[in-house]
Amino acid sequence: MGDKTDVWQGTLALMVLKTLATMGAQHGYGLARRIEQTSGGRLTVNYGTIYPALLRLEQEGAIAAEWGTSENNRRAKFYTLTRAGRRLLAKEERSWEDTTAILARFLAPERAQ
């Protein structure tokens, strides 16, 4: 796995956690659609990419999965945030904000030139 994938996986995981935190239990398809919508269509990736990320979060205990029925009566696997997941989300949010803030300072003067 290259670094790029790692970064992408990391950000994708953060997006998944945040989406689950705001929307509650959600299935993989719903999460993918929601992330696509939230990014304003700028993140158009294969929906499939979300599944390895979900598996990884599940292995880490940040989310839990359970089979259930969707609003239009389809069987689907629903993911919910665990308590560990909430803590992870809070931590990741802070670290992400720090990172962007630092990067913003680096990038700002260059733009001014």
x-marked contacts with other proteins along 87-106 as a string, rule CB under 8 A: -x---x--x-----------
Burial of 51 (0-12, 13-18, 19+ CB in 10 A): middle
| Shortest distance in whole angstroms from residue 111 CB to other proteins | 27
Residue 25 makes contact with other proteins by CB under 8 A: no
Residue 86 makes contact with other proteins by CB under 8 A: no
| Shortest distance in whole angstroms from residue 40 CB to other proteins | 17
Point out which residues bind other proteins (CB under 8 A): 6, 9-10, 13-14, 27-30, 33, 46-49, 51-52, 55-56, 58-62, 70, 72, 74-77, 84, 88, 92, 95
